[in-house]
Structure 1
Amino acid sequence: MSDMALERTVEESQSERSEIVFPADANALGNLFGGRLMQYIDLVGAMAASRHARAITITASMDHLDFVAPVRVGDLLILKASVNRAYKTSMEVGVRAMVEDVREQRLRHVSSAYLTYVAVDRDGKGIAVPKVVPVTEHQKRRFEDAGRRREMRAEETIRKKEMRMALGEGWHL
């Protein structure tokens, strides 16, 4: 597809990142810092968003993040990202983090997150992004779920605005 394509499949932008967890990345119990995992999630998510938009992308939000299981020093961490849905200038990206047991050749789910990225030009102005074409049933479900999450985010934005107005100008959420 050309850079000017109006739509792209999920596969065209899927991204993966692998990390070995070292002691400098972990707390006193030997577990990966949550903030470091968030950094890895943001990086792999940005890769998928940039591939989809074929542009610079910035993180607008991380509205849902689950820490399902600890990641320990020495673990092989695998992160996979897909663009679930695209709007005018923004995209929702889903990221799944897993630990690979190399001996057993099994993956253990440790975290999931949904992030929103905005495509921008060199001046930081939002630019249009291609639509996402979900192909598999799993991709179609994620596409529909992303629409529902967008509605919930919009409702939350309205609720926060109303709270700020009720609290007065001195309070910020």
Structure 2
Amino acid sequence: MKFKHANDSRVTISELMLPSHSNFSGKIHGGYILSLMDQIAFACASKHSETYCVTASVDKVNFLKPIEVGELVTMKASVNHVGKTSMVVGVRVEAENIQNGKRKHCNSSYFTMVAKNKDGVSVAVPGLILKDKTSIRRFVRSISRKEETKMRFNRFKESEFILEDHMETLKEYAVKVEL
């Protein structure tokens, strides 16, 4: 099996945010940022796997701080975890006011990418060389996120969901149950 360092596939892109990227409130549209994040995750995963990749899932994306027109957005992507045919790519988004140099972390997310051959069949990806505490933490954190997602999915499967177990919880929320 082939192994690669995360550094071998890291990708960084920077783009100046233009008025055409903004939403009705004058901030950069979240959908535009998500599109850029998907592109950099694709580039990173493709570099690691040396083949075409598709997005299988995107972990939760929290928009921490708004991005302004005129700011320079820099995105960094790195392979944090590999499976047999999939990779978890961590993407970090920062914005910089180019007039005063002030930077802010705007969001981070994790993209699960699957390597495909020219016929669209999933193919094996190289293993990942973990060289320091940070790379080990990122790898193990990805395993934990995967397990939490699986537990969350199974806990609320329609076939196993017991309505009575959750009725009390609903009383704390602004909902009206009409069964």
Q: Tell me the CA shift for residue 107 of structure 1.
A: 2.5
Q: Is 1:156 the counterpart of 2:152 in the alignment?
A: yes
Q: Pick from 2, 5, 14: which aligns with 1:6? A: 2
C-alpha distance in structure 2 between counterparts of 1:104 and 1:136, whole Å? 34
Residue 23 of structure 1: aligned partner: 19
Q: Is 1:43 the counterpart of 2:39 in the alignment?
A: yes
Q: Is 1:114 the counterpart of 2:110 in the alignment?
A: yes
**Aligned partner letter, 2:3:** E
What are structure 2's unaligned runs of at least 5 residues? 162-179
Q: Pick from 142, 151, 158: which aligns with 2:138? A: 142
**Aligned partner letter, 1:7:** F
Q: Tell me the CA shift for residue 136 of structure 1.
A: 2.5
Conserved? CA contact 1:64–1:115, under 8 Å: no
C-alpha distance in structure 1 between counterparts of 2:100 and 2:18, whole Å? 21
C-alpha distance in structure 1 between counterparts of 2:132 and 2:40, whole Å? 22
**Aligned partner letter, 1:116:** T
Q: Is 1:99 the counterpart of 2:95 in the alignment?
A: yes
Distance 1:164 1:113, change over 3 A: farther
Conserved? CA contact 2:71–2:98, under 8 Å: no
Q: Is 1:33 the counterpart of 2:42 in the alignment?
A: no
How many matched pairs? 162
C-alpha distance in structure 2 between counterparts of 1:50 and 1:163, whole Å? 36
Pair member with larger Rg = 2
Residue 77 of structure 1: aligned partner: 73
**Aligned partner letter, 1:58:** V
Residue 88 of structure 1: aligned partner: 84
TM-score by length of 1: 0.87
Q: Tell me the CA shift for residue 139 of structure 1.
A: 1.6
Structure 1 residues 69-125: Cα deviation after superposition (integer angstroms, max 9, x where no partner): 000111100000000010000011110000123344443100111110000001111
What are structure 1's unaligned runs of at least 5 residues? 167-173
Residue 58 of structure 2: aligned partner: 62
Distance 1:164 1:61, change over 3 A: farther
Q: Tell me the CA shift for residue 137 of structure 1.
A: 1.8
C-alpha distance in structure 2 between counterparts of 1:84 and 1:119, whole Å? 15
Structure 1 residues 10-55: Cα deviation after superposition (integer angstroms, max 9, x where no partner): 1011011111111111012210111111001111111111111011
Residue 169 of structure 1: aligned partner: none
Conserved? CA contact 1:62–1:116, under 8 Å: yes
Distance 1:59 1:103, change over 3 A: same
